[in-house]
Amino acid sequence: MSTGSGVRFISSLRVKFAASYIAIIAALLVVMNTYFPAASRDMIFASKLTFVKSQAAILETALRDIDTLTIDACTLVVSRLDVSGLSHITITGERGNVLYDSAGGSDGFVEKYAADVLRGFDVYYSSFSENAFLARAFVPITKDGAITGTVFVSERDAEQGAILSGLQRTLMNISAVIAIFSVALVAFILRTLLRRITGILRAIQSVREGEYTYRIEMRGRDELAMLGQEFDSLTGRLRETDDVRRRFVADASHELKTPLASIKLLSDSILQNENIDTDTVREFVADIGDEAERLARTTEKLLSLTRLDGGADKARSTVGTPVDMRDVAAATLRMLRPLADSEGITLKSDLDGGCIILGTEDSLHQIVFNLAENALKYNRPGGSVTVRLTRSETHAILRVEDTGIGVPEDDLPHIFDRFYRVDKARSRAFGGSGLGLSIVRDTVTALHGEISANARSGGGMVFEVRFRIYNQENPRQK
Ligand code: ADP
């Protein structure tokens, strides 16, 4: 047999919980029903034996002083003493001959032990049967070291026996009530618990099958409710990641499709047009080359992003070696100078020394290059770009400022998103893919830095990147 969720019934939590709980309750009930009656019985036995022993001792003391034990002497002694609590008294002579017997017969007890008692042994006996306590004492009568007879006393108490039996019955009844109540309670707790656990299991199965909108919504404030909340927030995160992934794949496919479509169109035009002249062919082939280059650039950027995504954790723990940002920035700006010149834009730089941070030259180059290239691409003829590197006590701050077209306020929050472009046509004209800034942001984050983008007063943009200065004395400081 198996439960709905595929767990074998015998190994299910329900069976384990129920079995453990019932075993504990059963053990408690067994102890209650055996230990307490047994302890009370032992106490009563002890008091009964003390009683018959003292009664036998009284009789023995009184009979010890009689020179010759006779029937009359025994009857007289018994009648004078207060031994009314006893149910049976037997007195024998030195040979075991019965001289006095209050009730006639002693179930053969006197006959059985007489020889032992006449040899000087005391015999005591107690039992509980037929709802009555029976206590017996059988002792020798000793005078001047010689045994002159024996005294046997017995007490049968049905009253205390009835009380003990009543106690046992009451305990049994209470046990039955506890057992029924416990089983009902266990069943109730397990039902509730299992309903909630099954809810969580069902949710996990749904999410595993891709249904990220599934919510557990478990009431209460216990561990299961917390588990439900954690699960809900986990699925929320999964859904977000899944959305981002889908969007990314869709955008990436779109981005790759456009240059591929152009290549196809251009090559078809060459193939289908028989009378095409060499110059046009050269022009088309050059365009095909441009598109192929764009494809290669986009693919390279996509790979870069994938590397950043996959290696983010690794980058966080080992962010590289100490690098002087001024050297990297100066080299990068040298590379961009021809672009600035061809666009008629003044490229100025003011770079402080001592900006040593933990990173790699490649990643810093990536950051400076993308920001400065954008500042040139989205500029105006005759405009300017200023790259400043300043060092505060704790941070290295890179500011890339331009006098360009700027970003409309509504677009500003999105410019770091993947494939986001404010002006598609302008971006494409410069071979842009909308991936540059997201690569910059991911790289800065991997190096524990911060980045911000703001409109520059008087037009254009200001991008600011902050990194903590590498502290040689305390290299672990991030
Ligand atoms: P792209 O490859 O299109 O340049 P980016 O991720 O580098 O992609 O930039 C995203 C968009 O942000 C660009 O398409 C552009 O519209 C805008 N942008 C980035 N930098 C600037 C800037 N300095 N001035 C104006 N707009 C900018």
Question: CATH no. for residue 38?
Answer: 3.30.450.20
On whether residue 475 sits in a domain, the answer given is no
Tell me which residue has its CA closest to atom 23 in ligand 1. Answer: 375
- The confidence band for 317, taking pLDDT boundaries of 50, 70 and 90, is very low
What pLDDT is attached to residue 6? 58
Query: In this structure, are 329 and 293 located in the same domain?
Result: no
- Nearest-CA residue for atom 4 of ligand 1: 432
Q: List pLDDT tens digits, range 175-198.
A: 999 999 988 998 898 888 888 888
Which of 164, 179, 208 marks a domain boundary? 164
- Report residues whose beta carbon is within 6 angstroms of any ligand 1 atom: 370, 374-375, 378, 402, 404-407, 415, 420-423, 427, 432-438, 461
Closest by CA to 408, choosing from 449, 353, 459, 471, is 459
Specify the pLDDT at position 345: 96
Report the mean per-residue pLDDT for the chain. 87
Tell whether 448 and 322 lie within a shared domain: yes
Pocket test for ligand 1, best of 371, 387, 430, 437 (most atoms within 8 A of CB): 437
Q: Which residues of 359-382 are buried (b: 16+ CB within 10 A; e: fewer)?
A: bbbebbbbbbbbbbbbbbbbbeee
What pLDDT digit, counting tens, does each position of 379-396 carry? 999 999 999 999 999 999
Q: Which residues contact 413 (CB under 8 A, 6 or more apart)?
A: none
Average pLDDT over residues 275-289: 91
| 292 and 322 both lie in a single domain | no
Mean pLDDT of 123-128: 91
Of the candidates 145, 144, 128, the one whose C-alpha atom is nearest the C-alpha of residue 44 is 128
Question: Cα(396)–Cα(364) distance, rounded to whole angstroms?
Answer: 12
- Counting DSSP H helices and E strands in the chain, the numbers are 10, 12
Q: What is the Å distance from ligand 1's center to 92 Cα?
A: 126
Same domain, yes or no: 456 and 410: yes
Q: Using most ligand atoms within 8 A of CB, pick from 255, 416, 421 the residue to mutate for ligand 1.
A: 421
Q: Does residue 199 lie in a domain region?
A: no
The alpha carbon of 8 and the centre of ligand 1 are apart by a number of angstroms equal to: 59
The helix/strand/coil state of 8 is strand
Domain hosting residue 148, numbered range:
15-164
pLDDT greater than 80 at residue 210: yes
What total of structural domains would you count in the chain?
3
- Beta strand 123-129 with 132-143 is antiparallel
Q: How many residues does the chain have?
A: 478
374 Cα: distance to centroid of ligand 1 (angstroms): 6
Q: Whose CA is nearest to atom 13 of ligand 1?
A: 421
- Give the distance (Å) from ligand 1 centre to CA of residue 434: 7
- 53 versus 14: the higher-pLDDT residue is 53
**60 CA → ligand 1 middle, Å:** 121
238 in a structural domain = yes
Domain contains 5: no
β-bridge pairing 450-455 and 461-468: antiparallel
- Shared-domain flag, residues 303 and 353: no
360 and 292 co-located in one domain: no
Give me ligand 1 centre to Cα 330, in Å: 22
Residue 315 pLDDT > 50: no
Task: Tell me the average pLDDT across 417-438.
Answer: 83
The pLDDT-based confidence of 3 (bands split at 50, 70, 90) is very low
What percent of the chain clears pLDDT 70, i.e. is strictly above it? 94
